[in-house]
A and B are shown apart, each in its own frame.
Chain A
Amino acid sequence: MAYNWNWQVFLQPSATGEGTYLAWLFEGLKWTVTLSLTAWIIALVVGSVIGVLRTVPNRWLGLIAASYVEVFRNIPLLVQLFIWYFVLPELLPGEMGNTFKQMNPLAQQFFSAMVCLGLFTAARVAEQVRAGINSLPRGQKNAGLAMGFTLAQCYRHVLLPMAYRIIVPPLTSEFLNIFKNSAVATTIGLIELSRQAQHLVDFTAQPYEAFIAVTLLYLLINVTVMFLMRRLEKRVQVPGFVGGK
């Protein structure tokens, strides 16, 4: 098999005339990172709320939170994404659906992917938050309540600050997952990294260079995230809780 390697392809001006093919890669990287980070914020906020609800002493709230987790965990990410992107705009009442469909396509793709990825990951974050809270000795909550804290204050000042510090390691792997899962957005046409890999194949006919470059960029994201999270982990580690678990 004779394959003509040509790494200079990235420096050639792109077919659209704007910049080089290398610029396409960075465009993809930019969208992958933006999508993952914004989705991660949603995941942390929603996941924390759902996780807390699963531990409060109220059956109905617990049931609602548990249903959320089951629904988002048992439907494939791709199906969820298509439901957000294709189904929801049809079902939105009145003008809202039309307003969405008239937005710029990139904005439509981005918002659907962001909400989808955020709420999908939230279910996983919720499980970690719940596990973190449950791993604390019961005495902590009782002590808080005995000191005269309301239940909400108890969560705010006693349980959550400890729980978050304990669950940094599992959250790291969820954080890594969100970057990997963001590649699913390629299916609705968002120009993130893996989409750009396919574009490069179509336009340059140098598939190996394009795929290797994109794979390396994913590895780079991985290593960076891991490095930053390790540092965070060290800083917030709770003495006495080995490895956090």
Chain B
Amino acid sequence: MYEFDWSSIPGAIPLLLKGMAITLEVTLTAIFVGIVWGTLLAVARLGRSRVLAFLATAYVNLFRSVPLVMVILWFYLIVPQGLKAIFGQNIGDIRLTSALVAFALFEAAYYSEIIRAGIQSVAKGQVAAGLALGLTPGQTMRLIVLPQAFRNMLPLLLTQGIILFQDTSLVYVIGLSDFFGTSYKIGDRDGRLVELLLFAGAVYFVICFSVSRVVKRLQARFSQ
């Protein structure tokens, strides 16, 4: 029978926290950039310009049909080339940068789908009223439609954030030490992989489960 030995975890806490900081950095950056870029994509898809709508649709569909692992690997290939072209050979460790870019651009595709549905959920009369008041289409979108849309879709945006938080563990494929990568390395180093992996799973579960409870409450309050 396997004998558990959890003793390597307490000493590893500082390293694990450092890993968690990277996980959070990637998650929060991707949420922020993803929502901004995703909003632009959604507006482009619903807008009048056919060319922009086509480009935005192609972008979203492309990112949504390729596995995240491939996207991370792709950007790990492209980003260094781009940085070298701009800054020369001395670019240091680019794993974090390429992960940030990959997640931000990838998540934007998913966020844009949520935001598009949110925009479409706003009653048509609202747009008409805005235009009738003399607002430009841009002002109507910014001042009338988007605020209501974001209110409607807040729970979905947060749920996507939880999924994203879990997905950041995939930076493992480019060897970036996020929370999961750090747990794995420590487990490997101390020969206590079983304990460290179970511990990492438990931490992810506690965080995601708690946040999803909060989202549920929020949803209940909003739908009143």
Which residues of chain A come closer than 8 Å to B169, judged between CB atoms?
A: 76, 78-79
Chain A residues with CB under 8 A of B201 = 75, 79-80, 83
Residues of B within 8 A of A197 (CB): 70, 73
Question: Smallest distance from the beta carbon of A64 to chain B beta carbons, Å?
Answer: 16
Cβ contact within 8 Å between A215 and B69: no
Tell me whether A194 and B69 are in contact (CB under 8 A): yes
| Complex interface: chain A residues within 8 A of B81 (CB) | 1
> B residues within 8 A CB of A219?
62, 65-66
Assess whether B67 is in contact with A218, with CB atoms less than 8 Å apart.
yes
The 0/1 profile, CB within 8 Å of B marked 1, for residues 199-218 of chain A is 00100000110010011001
Q: In the complex, what residues of A have CB within 8 A of residue B212's CB?
A: 74
A211 contacts which chain B residues (CB < 8 A)? Answer: 70, 73-74, 77
Min CB distance B205 to A, Å, is 5
Q: A75-B201, A82-B184, A90-B2 in contact; A180/B67 too (CB < 8 A)? A: yes
Interface membership of A91, Cβ < 8 A: yes
Q: Which residues of B contact A238 (CB under 8 A)?
A: none
- SS of B interface (majority): helix
Which of A9-17, A106-114, A181-189 binds B?
A: A181-189
Contact A180 B204 (CB under 8 A): no
Contact with A along B181-224 (1 / 0, CB 8 A): 00010000000011001101100110011001000000000000
Instruction: Known pairs A82-B184, A184-B69, A215-B74; list 19 more (Cβ under 8 Å).
Output: A1-B85, A74-B162, A76-B204, A77-B166, A78-B169, A79-B180, A79-B200, A87-B193, A87-B197, A87-B198, A179-B67, A180-B65, A187-B173, A207-B77, A211-B74, A215-B70, A218-B66, A219-B65, A222-B65
Sample (19) of A-B pairs whose CB atoms are under 8 Å apart: A1-B81, A70-B209, A74-B162, A75-B201, A78-B169, A78-B180, A79-B197, A82-B184, A86-B194, A86-B197, A87-B198, A93-B1, A176-B65, A180-B68, A182-B67, A183-B69, A198-B73, A215-B66, A215-B70
